[in-house]
Amino acid sequence: MDFIIEFKGNRRQIYKAPESIQIEPGKYAIVQAERGEDMGLVKREAKPNELAENENNHKIIRPATENDLDRLNFNRQKELESKSECLRFIEKHQLKMKLVDVEYQFDCNKITFYFTAEKRVDFRELVKDLAATFRTRIELRQIGVRDEAKRIGGFGICGNEQCCSAFLNDFQTISTQMARTQNLALNPQKISGNCGRLLCCLLYEQKFYEKSQPEYPQVGSHCKFGKEEGVIDKCNIFYEEISIKIGDGDRRIVSLSEYKRAVKRGQFKLLEKPSYNDKANNNNKE
Protein backbone atom coordinates (compact mmCIF):
# COMPACT_ATOMS: atom_id res chain seq x y z
CA MET A 1 0.00 0.00 0.00
CA ASP A 2 1.24 3.51 -0.85
CA PHE A 3 0.99 6.53 1.42
CA ILE A 4 1.57 10.28 1.23
CA ILE A 5 4.28 11.17 3.75
CA GLU A 6 4.66 14.80 4.82
CA PHE A 7 7.93 16.27 6.08
CA LYS A 8 8.88 19.66 7.44
CA GLY A 9 7.88 22.61 5.29
CA ASN A 10 4.85 20.83 3.80
CA ARG A 11 7.12 18.69 1.63
CA ARG A 12 5.27 15.55 0.53
CA GLN A 13 6.26 12.34 -1.18
CA ILE A 14 4.78 8.92 -1.90
CA TYR A 15 6.20 5.88 -0.07
CA LYS A 16 5.33 2.21 -0.32
CA ALA A 17 4.57 0.28 2.86
CA PRO A 18 5.43 -3.47 3.01
CA GLU A 19 2.52 -5.77 3.82
CA SER A 20 4.34 -6.94 6.93
CA ILE A 21 3.94 -3.61 8.77
CA GLN A 22 0.83 -1.64 9.66
CA ILE A 23 0.84 2.07 8.88
CA GLU A 24 -1.80 4.46 10.25
CA PRO A 25 -2.57 7.94 8.87
CA GLY A 26 -1.87 10.60 11.46
CA LYS A 27 1.13 8.72 12.87
CA TYR A 28 4.83 9.16 12.14
CA ALA A 29 6.91 6.66 10.17
CA ILE A 30 10.57 6.06 9.37
CA VAL A 31 11.23 6.03 5.61
CA GLN A 32 14.09 5.47 3.22
CA ALA A 33 16.14 8.55 2.33
CA GLU A 34 18.73 9.10 -0.36
CA ARG A 35 21.44 8.28 2.16
CA GLY A 36 20.02 6.85 5.34
CA GLU A 37 16.64 7.34 7.01
CA ASP A 38 14.15 10.14 7.36
CA MET A 39 10.97 10.62 9.37
CA GLY A 40 7.62 12.04 8.30
CA LEU A 41 3.93 12.19 9.10
CA VAL A 42 1.64 9.71 7.34
CA LYS A 43 -1.09 11.89 5.82
CA ARG A 44 -3.26 9.44 3.84
CA GLU A 45 -3.27 6.69 1.23
CA ALA A 46 -2.08 7.76 -2.19
CA LYS A 47 -4.66 7.99 -4.98
CA PRO A 48 -4.28 6.02 -8.27
CA ASN A 49 -3.54 9.16 -10.31
CA GLU A 50 -0.85 10.16 -7.81
CA LEU A 51 0.77 6.74 -8.11
CA ALA A 52 0.95 7.14 -11.88
CA GLU A 53 2.86 10.41 -11.47
CA ASN A 54 5.25 8.97 -8.88
CA GLU A 55 8.56 7.94 -10.44
CA ASN A 56 10.29 6.96 -7.22
CA ASN A 57 10.07 3.64 -5.41
CA HIS A 58 10.83 4.77 -1.87
CA LYS A 59 9.73 2.53 0.98
CA ILE A 60 8.44 2.95 4.50
CA ILE A 61 10.76 1.12 6.89
CA ARG A 62 8.68 1.03 10.08
CA PRO A 63 6.31 3.03 12.29
CA ALA A 64 8.03 5.60 14.50
CA THR A 65 8.58 4.91 18.19
CA GLU A 66 8.57 7.26 21.19
CA ASN A 67 12.36 7.42 21.00
CA ASP A 68 12.08 8.45 17.35
CA LEU A 69 9.71 11.28 18.28
CA ASP A 70 12.19 12.46 20.92
CA ARG A 71 14.92 12.42 18.27
CA LEU A 72 12.71 14.45 15.93
CA ASN A 73 12.16 17.11 18.60
CA PHE A 74 15.90 17.18 19.24
CA ASN A 75 16.53 17.71 15.52
CA ARG A 76 14.04 20.61 15.45
CA GLN A 77 16.00 22.33 18.22
CA LYS A 78 19.28 21.73 16.37
CA GLU A 79 17.75 23.28 13.25
CA LEU A 80 17.21 26.55 15.09
CA GLU A 81 20.82 26.56 16.28
CA SER A 82 22.09 25.68 12.81
CA LYS A 83 20.06 28.50 11.28
CA SER A 84 21.78 31.01 13.56
CA GLU A 85 25.20 29.61 12.60
CA CYS A 86 24.36 29.76 8.89
CA LEU A 87 23.19 33.38 9.18
CA ARG A 88 26.51 34.24 10.79
CA PHE A 89 28.42 32.67 7.90
CA ILE A 90 26.21 34.42 5.33
CA GLU A 91 27.05 37.75 6.92
CA LYS A 92 30.72 36.78 7.06
CA HIS A 93 30.84 36.14 3.30
CA GLN A 94 28.48 39.05 2.53
CA LEU A 95 26.19 36.88 0.43
CA LYS A 96 23.00 38.39 -0.99
CA MET A 97 20.66 35.60 0.00
CA LYS A 98 17.78 35.11 2.42
CA LEU A 99 17.92 31.98 4.58
CA VAL A 100 14.36 30.59 4.74
CA ASP A 101 14.60 27.32 6.64
CA VAL A 102 16.87 24.52 7.83
CA GLU A 103 15.90 20.86 7.75
CA TYR A 104 17.77 17.96 9.36
CA GLN A 105 17.39 14.50 7.94
CA PHE A 106 16.18 12.21 10.74
CA ASP A 107 19.51 10.40 11.07
CA CYS A 108 21.42 13.70 10.70
CA ASN A 109 23.31 12.38 7.68
CA LYS A 110 22.28 15.50 5.78
CA ILE A 111 21.30 19.10 6.59
CA THR A 112 19.44 21.11 3.96
CA PHE A 113 19.51 24.90 4.01
CA TYR A 114 16.72 26.54 1.97
CA PHE A 115 17.24 30.08 0.73
CA THR A 116 15.92 32.64 -1.74
CA ALA A 117 17.99 35.05 -3.81
CA GLU A 118 17.35 37.43 -6.69
CA LYS A 119 20.41 36.21 -8.57
CA ARG A 120 22.65 33.19 -8.62
CA VAL A 121 24.79 32.94 -5.47
CA ASP A 122 28.32 31.55 -5.23
CA PHE A 123 28.05 29.73 -1.90
CA ARG A 124 31.07 27.44 -2.17
CA GLU A 125 32.88 29.06 0.75
CA LEU A 126 29.67 28.99 2.78
CA VAL A 127 29.34 25.23 2.20
CA LYS A 128 32.93 24.71 3.35
CA ASP A 129 32.26 26.57 6.60
CA LEU A 130 29.00 24.69 7.21
CA ALA A 131 30.59 21.30 6.49
CA ALA A 132 33.51 22.05 8.82
CA THR A 133 31.11 23.14 11.57
CA PHE A 134 28.50 20.38 11.40
CA ARG A 135 30.67 17.58 9.93
CA THR A 136 27.89 16.06 7.84
CA ARG A 137 26.57 16.32 4.32
CA ILE A 138 25.43 19.88 3.52
CA GLU A 139 22.93 20.84 0.82
CA LEU A 140 22.05 24.44 -0.04
CA ARG A 141 18.84 24.61 -2.07
CA GLN A 142 17.65 27.81 -3.71
CA ILE A 143 13.85 28.07 -3.85
CA GLY A 144 11.37 30.61 -5.22
CA VAL A 145 9.11 32.90 -3.21
CA ARG A 146 6.13 30.59 -3.80
CA ASP A 147 8.11 27.68 -2.35
CA GLU A 148 9.08 29.91 0.56
CA ALA A 149 5.41 30.63 1.34
CA LYS A 150 4.67 26.90 1.12
CA ARG A 151 7.40 26.02 3.62
CA ILE A 152 6.49 28.76 6.08
CA GLY A 153 2.73 28.17 5.83
CA GLY A 154 -0.08 30.60 6.51
CA PHE A 155 -3.62 31.56 5.55
CA GLY A 156 -4.94 33.16 2.40
CA ILE A 157 -7.33 36.10 2.04
CA CYS A 158 -10.15 33.54 1.89
CA GLY A 159 -9.44 32.60 5.51
CA ASN A 160 -8.37 29.06 4.64
CA GLU A 161 -4.92 27.52 4.76
CA GLN A 162 -2.77 28.42 1.78
CA CYS A 163 -3.39 26.06 -1.14
CA CYS A 164 0.35 25.53 -1.56
CA SER A 165 0.68 24.44 2.07
CA ALA A 166 -2.51 22.36 2.09
CA PHE A 167 -2.43 20.31 -1.10
CA LEU A 168 -0.60 21.83 -4.09
CA ASN A 169 2.49 19.93 -5.18
CA ASP A 170 3.31 21.78 -8.39
CA PHE A 171 3.00 25.46 -9.22
CA GLN A 172 1.37 26.34 -12.52
CA THR A 173 1.67 29.58 -14.47
CA ILE A 174 -0.81 32.26 -13.38
CA SER A 175 -1.33 35.41 -15.48
CA THR A 176 -3.14 38.72 -15.06
CA GLN A 177 -5.24 37.76 -18.07
CA MET A 178 -6.99 35.22 -15.83
CA ALA A 179 -7.98 38.06 -13.48
CA ARG A 180 -9.30 40.05 -16.45
CA THR A 181 -11.26 37.08 -17.72
CA GLN A 182 -12.85 36.69 -14.28
CA ASN A 183 -13.68 40.44 -14.12
CA LEU A 184 -11.49 41.00 -11.07
CA ALA A 185 -9.99 44.38 -10.23
CA LEU A 186 -6.29 44.39 -11.10
CA ASN A 187 -5.35 45.42 -7.59
CA PRO A 188 -2.14 43.60 -6.53
CA GLN A 189 -3.25 43.51 -2.89
CA LYS A 190 -6.45 41.69 -3.81
CA ILE A 191 -5.17 39.19 -6.38
CA SER A 192 -1.79 38.34 -4.82
CA GLY A 193 -0.99 35.70 -2.21
CA ASN A 194 1.35 35.83 0.77
CA CYS A 195 4.23 35.09 -1.61
CA GLY A 196 3.58 38.31 -3.52
CA ARG A 197 2.71 36.39 -6.68
CA LEU A 198 -0.73 36.06 -8.28
CA LEU A 199 -3.16 33.83 -6.38
CA CYS A 200 -2.98 30.17 -7.39
CA CYS A 201 -6.77 29.94 -7.03
CA LEU A 202 -7.21 32.16 -10.10
CA LEU A 203 -6.61 28.97 -12.04
CA TYR A 204 -9.45 27.00 -10.47
CA GLU A 205 -12.36 28.79 -12.15
CA GLN A 206 -10.56 29.80 -15.33
CA LYS A 207 -11.94 26.96 -17.48
CA PHE A 208 -15.47 27.69 -16.26
CA TYR A 209 -15.13 31.34 -17.29
CA GLU A 210 -13.61 30.43 -20.67
CA LYS A 211 -16.48 28.04 -21.33
CA SER A 212 -19.24 30.39 -20.12
CA GLN A 213 -18.15 33.80 -21.40
CA PRO A 214 -18.79 33.17 -25.13
CA GLU A 215 -22.51 32.96 -24.26
CA TYR A 216 -22.45 36.57 -23.01
CA PRO A 217 -21.94 39.89 -24.82
CA GLN A 218 -18.59 41.56 -24.29
CA VAL A 219 -18.47 43.94 -21.34
CA GLY A 220 -18.24 47.53 -22.59
CA SER A 221 -20.07 46.85 -25.86
CA HIS A 222 -22.66 49.41 -26.98
CA CYS A 223 -25.97 47.66 -27.62
CA LYS A 224 -29.62 48.13 -28.48
CA PHE A 225 -32.14 46.17 -26.43
CA GLY A 226 -35.63 46.62 -27.79
CA LYS A 227 -36.02 50.39 -28.15
CA GLU A 228 -33.36 51.26 -25.57
CA GLU A 229 -29.67 51.81 -26.17
CA GLY A 230 -27.00 51.29 -23.58
CA VAL A 231 -23.66 49.75 -22.63
CA ILE A 232 -23.02 46.24 -21.31
CA ASP A 233 -21.93 47.06 -17.77
CA LYS A 234 -21.44 43.64 -16.14
CA CYS A 235 -21.96 39.96 -16.85
CA ASN A 236 -22.55 37.74 -13.80
CA ILE A 237 -22.04 34.21 -15.05
CA PHE A 238 -22.87 32.67 -11.66
CA TYR A 239 -26.33 34.24 -11.51
CA GLU A 240 -26.62 34.17 -15.33
CA GLU A 241 -27.42 37.87 -15.47
CA ILE A 242 -26.39 40.75 -17.75
CA SER A 243 -26.37 44.35 -16.52
CA ILE A 244 -27.03 47.04 -19.14
CA LYS A 245 -26.33 50.68 -18.29
CA ILE A 246 -28.97 52.86 -19.91
CA GLY A 247 -29.06 56.64 -20.05
CA ASP A 248 -27.82 58.56 -17.02
CA GLY A 249 -26.87 55.65 -14.78
CA ASP A 250 -30.02 53.56 -14.95
CA ARG A 251 -29.38 49.85 -15.18
CA ARG A 252 -31.44 47.01 -16.54
CA ILE A 253 -30.78 43.45 -15.39
CA VAL A 254 -31.45 40.85 -18.07
CA SER A 255 -31.26 37.11 -17.50
CA LEU A 256 -29.11 35.01 -19.82
CA SER A 257 -32.17 33.16 -21.16
CA GLU A 258 -33.96 36.47 -21.82
CA TYR A 259 -30.87 37.78 -23.62
CA LYS A 260 -30.68 34.67 -25.83
CA ARG A 261 -34.37 34.95 -26.73
CA ALA A 262 -33.92 38.64 -27.61
CA VAL A 263 -30.94 37.83 -29.85
CA LYS A 264 -32.92 35.09 -31.58
CA ARG A 265 -35.87 37.45 -32.20
CA GLY A 266 -33.64 40.30 -33.37
CA GLN A 267 -34.55 42.45 -30.36
CA PHE A 268 -30.93 42.67 -29.16
CA LYS A 269 -28.15 44.06 -31.33
CA LEU A 270 -24.52 45.00 -30.65
CA LEU A 271 -23.57 48.37 -32.14
CA GLU A 272 -20.09 49.21 -33.38
CA LYS A 273 -18.93 52.25 -31.44
CA PRO A 274 -15.20 51.92 -30.58
CA SER A 275 -15.23 54.98 -28.29
CA TYR A 276 -17.76 53.29 -26.02
CA ASN A 277 -15.83 50.01 -26.13
CA ASP A 278 -12.50 51.57 -25.22
CA LYS A 279 -13.95 53.64 -22.39
CA ALA A 280 -15.96 50.77 -20.91
CA ASN A 281 -13.08 48.29 -21.13
CA ASN A 282 -10.72 50.70 -19.40
CA ASN A 283 -13.21 51.31 -16.61
CA ASN A 284 -13.66 47.57 -16.16
CA LYS A 285 -9.92 47.06 -15.60
CA GLU A 286 -9.49 49.54 -12.76
Looking at every residue in the chain, the average pLDDT score rounds to: 89
Phi then psi for residue 118, to 5 deg, are -75, -30
Q: Is 178 exposed, middle or buried (0-12, 13-18, 19+ CB in 10 A)?
A: buried
Rounded Cα–Cα distance for residues 82 and 94 (Å)? 18
Contact 270, 281 (CB under 8 A): no
Rounded Cα–Cα distance for residues 153 and 161 (Å)? 8
Pairwise pLDDT comparison (249 vs 101), residue with the higher score: 101
Of 48, 58, 77, which Cα lies nearest the Cα of 5?
58
pLDDT tens for residues 78-117? 999 999 999 999 999 999 999 999 999 999 999 999 999 9
- Other beta carbons less than 10 A from residue 160's beta carbon: 10
pLDDT of residue 257 exceeding 80:
yes
* Overall CATH class of domain 216-284: mainly beta
Pairwise pLDDT comparison (226 vs 164), residue with the higher score: 164
Kindly state the average pLDDT of the residues 72-79.
Answer: 96
Q: What is the CA radius of gyration of the chain?
A: 27
Contact 231, 219 (CB under 8 A): no
Rounded Cα–Cα distance for residues 12 and 238 (Å)? 35
Instruction: Kindly give the residue spans of alpha helices, DSSP state H, lying in the chain.
Output: 48-53, 66-92, 124-134, 145-152, 163-166, 176-181, 188-191, 206-212, 256-265, 274-284
Cβ partners under 8 Å of residue 173, min gap 6:
none
Half-sphere exposure of residue 86, counting CA atoms within 13 Å on the CB side? 26
Contact 243, 235 (CB under 8 A): yes
- Say what the pLDDT of residue 53 is: 59
Confidence label for 280 from pLDDT (cuts 50, 70 and 90): very low
Locate CATH 3.30.300 in the chain.
70-143
Confidence label for 233 from pLDDT (cuts 50, 70 and 90): confident
- Say what the pLDDT of residue 68 is: 96
pLDDT of residue 265 exceeding 70:
yes
In the chain, the amino acid numbered 22 is Q
Percentage, residues of the chain above pLDDT 90: 63
Given 3-state DSSP classes, what are the helix, strand and coil percentages for the chain, each rounded to the nearest 5?
A: 35, 30, 35
Which DSSP string corresponds to 96-107? --EEEEEEE-TT
- Other beta carbons less than 10 A from residue 38's beta carbon: 25
Confidence label for 57 from pLDDT (cuts 50, 70 and 90): confident
Locate CATH 2.30.30.60 in the chain.
216-284
* Overall CATH class of domain 70-143: alpha beta
pLDDT of residue 54 exceeding 80:
no
Confidence label for 258 from pLDDT (cuts 50, 70 and 90): very high
Q: Is the dihedral of CA 72, 56, 168, 5 positive or negative?
A: negative
Contact 269, 224 (CB under 8 A): yes
Phi then psi for residue 149, to 5 deg, are -65, -35
- Say what the pLDDT of residue 191 is: 93
pLDDT tens for residues 134-144? 999 999 999 99
Kindly state the average pLDDT of the residues 12-23.
Answer: 90
- Say what the pLDDT of residue 113 is: 97
- Say what the pLDDT of residue 219 is: 84
Kindly state the average pLDDT of the residues 148-172.
Answer: 91
Rounded Cα–Cα distance for residues 82 and 71 (Å)? 16
Rounded Cα–Cα distance for residues 149 and 40 (Å)? 20
